[in-house]
Structure formats: structure tokens, C-alpha cells
Structure 1
Amino acid sequence: MLIGKTRAEVVQLLGEDFYEYNPEHIAYILGLKPGIFSIDTDALDIIFKDNVVIKVKQHQT
């Protein structure tokens, strides 16, 4: 869904509340993963090359 989109398109879809590691890598916090012992939040990493999304991955923070 996000692969091939520009940074502006991603921000328009997902909002401006993201963490910027560098101009080529931003992350959105998704919230807590459901579970009784879950204390870590999930994040959605978005990687750009030449202002276009080339990779999207999810991880726990």
C-alpha cells in the first residue's frame, strides 16, 4: 500500500505524528500489541530512497 508513494503522500495518509531517524527513515508508533504481558509498543518503519517508499516493516520498540 505504501511502496512507491512519496513522503508527502505517506504523511497525508498517516499524519504528521512520526519520529524521523533521518530524511530517508521515519517511524509511526502503532500502540501496544494486545496481550497480557505486552509492555512494548509496535512501530511502523518506512524507508525512502529518492523521496519514494522502498521498504515498510513493523517492529517492537
Structure 2
Amino acid sequence: MSSGLERLGTTPVDFAVHRSSLDDVFLALTGKQGGPAPEPAAAAAVVTSKEKQSA
């Protein structure tokens, strides 16, 4: 297939699709820059405080 494309003056690279990273999509949707993932201890603290509120 690539030899046929080369004869037409086209390369497979011309058909490559740019895939956005998750950060690019998040920025486009929210207008905010994404940050690092929360620390596991911070996530556990949130769950613990919610459990205390519901008790």
C-alpha cells in the first residue's frame, strides 16, 4: 500500500491523526489546567470525613 501512496506523492504520515492527551481535553472542556492526581491519603481523608458526617 505504501508504494502506491508514494507513487501518488502521499506518505502514510500524511494520514496520521493527532490524538489529544487527557490534559488537552480537560483544558478544552474546563478552561483549567489539570493537576497531579490526589495523594491516596488525601482521598482517604475525604472518604473518612464523609463517613463521619453520615453517622
TM-score, normalization by structure 1: 0.18
TM-score, normalization by structure 2: 0.19
Q: Which has the higher strand share?
A: 1
Higher RCO, Cα 8 Å, sep 6+: 1
Structure 1 or 2, whichever has the larger Rg, is 2
Q: Which has the higher helix share?
A: 2
